[in-house]
Amino acid sequence: MASAPFLTLPELELPQSAGSITVSAPSNIALVKYWGKSKGQIPKNASISFTLSHCLTRTTLSYTPLILSKGVAAPEFDVFVDGKSKPEFAPKIFTFFERITPYMPWVSSFQWRIDTKNTFPHGSGIASSASGFAALAGALMHLEASWSRQPIDQELWTDKTSFLARLGSGSAARSVIGPLMYWGQHPALSQSSDLYARALSQNIDPIFLDYKDTILLVDQGEKEVSSTVGHNLMHDHPFATQRFEQAQDNLARLLDILSGGDLDEFCALVETEALTLHAMMMTSNPSYVLMKPNTLAIIDKVRKFRRTANVPLCFTLDAGANVHLLYPANFAQQIMPWIQQELSPLCQGGQFIEDQVGQGLKKL
């Protein structure tokens, strides 16, 4: 078991009757990407992300105390998405429960029902694992805090929530608070850890605090290669060492950019990170391409528009074909009509999502 102050098990008074809790957690978009991990969801490099505010998972977690004599060894649960039973999600959630049990042994004392709903369209290519596992971890932590005999310190609470979320999906560690989160050890961030993410709280130019992220839904199909497979392909990747070093350097540079507010530098760095992530996929063995022709068409248009209209607009990509457009809120009036006219025809069904930087988990 990893050692950290928040992993000391609190003394709890468990309820004798059934109950529930509802929380929402947002997705996040990495500026410096996490791609490649060691056993136990330990990242190979540090990453940093904007926490979003509109792409959310809302989860109601209901519990019924199990009769002790039943003597279950593992947590029992049912999963529902939009009110429909989804047994296909059970293996991933089972693994999550197994991984968190050493840090929350009480989870096996209950029968669980997980009801989730995403605000973004299902199969839109927006990863629901980050928001989904952050919501689940947050719900469990709210329960633990409410049953604890001693009050739980806020910082310990967020560290442990992020730690648990990480065990479901690495990037979920960065969906707990906002507006910017860093995760993974880095010499420039004395509080950084591979075990959990923390909010970047100092030296951020205010321009980044209400940044826009317009998500262009280029391809709403299932991803052809999962993130798990992608991360694993970094193990024998010919450029892995250089990539991990580059990410650490880029993170250090990004910290300067975030405090100095140089938007040209920001655009250059964020786009390099996005294309490097996809370059890793395109040069792994086996290689694969997640971008679609319209992804490239959009990238081309973004770069031309930035030059001709002189706007600080840039793109980033997740592990998929959709394009995230990042720009300061005070440019929205100029940029939105252009997105409507020029880019929405390149999206499936003309669809895009208007999101922006946000604050993370909420208890509802």
Site residues (vs ligand PMV, CB under 6 A): 30, 33-35, 47, 127, 129-130, 169-171, 227, 231, 277, 318-319
Of 267, 270, 274, 255, the C-alpha closest to 306 is: 267
- Tell me whether strands 76-81 and 110-118 are parallel, antiparallel or unpaired: parallel
First-to-last alpha carbon distance for the chain, in angstroms, is 32
CB of 253 to ligand PMV, least distance (A): 17
Contact indicator for 351, 217 with CB cutoff of 8 Å: yes
Minimal distance in Å, beta carbon 31 to ligand PMV? Answer: 9
- Minimum CB separation from ligand PMV for residue 152, in Å? 26
128 within 8 A of 57, measured Cβ to Cβ: yes
Return all residues near 251 (Cβ < 8 A) that are at least 6 apart.
32, 45, 46, 47, 48, 182, 186, 188
Closest Cα partner for 78 from 111, 113, 116? 113
Between residues 47 and 124, which has the closer beta carbon with respect to ligand PMV?
Answer: 47
Q: Which is nearer to ligand PMV, 127 or 141 (CB)?
A: 127
Nearer to ligand PMV, 34 or 305 (CB): 34
Minimum Å gap between C-beta 1 and ligand PMV is 22
Which lies closer to ligand PMV via its Cβ, residue 130 or residue 143? 130
Of 145 and 357, the one with the shorter C-beta distance to ligand PMV is: 357
Q: Shortest approach of ligand PMV to residue 251 CB, angstroms?
A: 11
Q: What is the distance between the alpha carbons of residues 282 and 288, in angstroms, rounded to a whole number?
A: 5
Cβ–Cβ contacts within 10 Å for residue 228, how many? Answer: 13
Q: Least distance (Å) from ligand PMV to the CB of residue 236? A: 18
Cβ-based nearer residue to ligand PMV, 214 or 322: 322
Q: Nearest CA to 130 among 161, 172, 90?
A: 172
Closest distance to ligand PMV from the beta carbon of 204 (Å): 19
* 3-state secondary structure at position 286: coil
CA dist., res. 294 & res. 299, Å (int): 8
For ligand PMV, the closer CB: 142 or 166: 166
Q: Smallest distance from the beta carbon of 55 to ligand PMV, in angstroms? A: 13
Q: Using CA atoms, how far apart are residues 61 and 18, in angstroms rounded to an integer?
A: 11
Burial letters 87-104, b for 16+ CB under 10 A, else e:
eebeeebeebbeebeebb
In angstroms, give the least distance from the CB of 30 to ligand PMV.
3
Contacts of 300 (CB under 8 A, 6+ apart): none
Q: Which is nearer to ligand PMV, 251 or 319 (CB)?
A: 319
Taking the least distance from each CB to ligand PMV, the nearer of 21 and 217 is 217
Query: Treating both helix axes as pointing N-terminal to C-terminal, what angle do 263-282 and 240-260 enclose, rounded to 10 degrees?
Result: 160
**What Cα–Cα distance (Å) separates residue 332 from each residue in 256, 328, 329, 354, 362?**
25, 7, 5, 10, 27
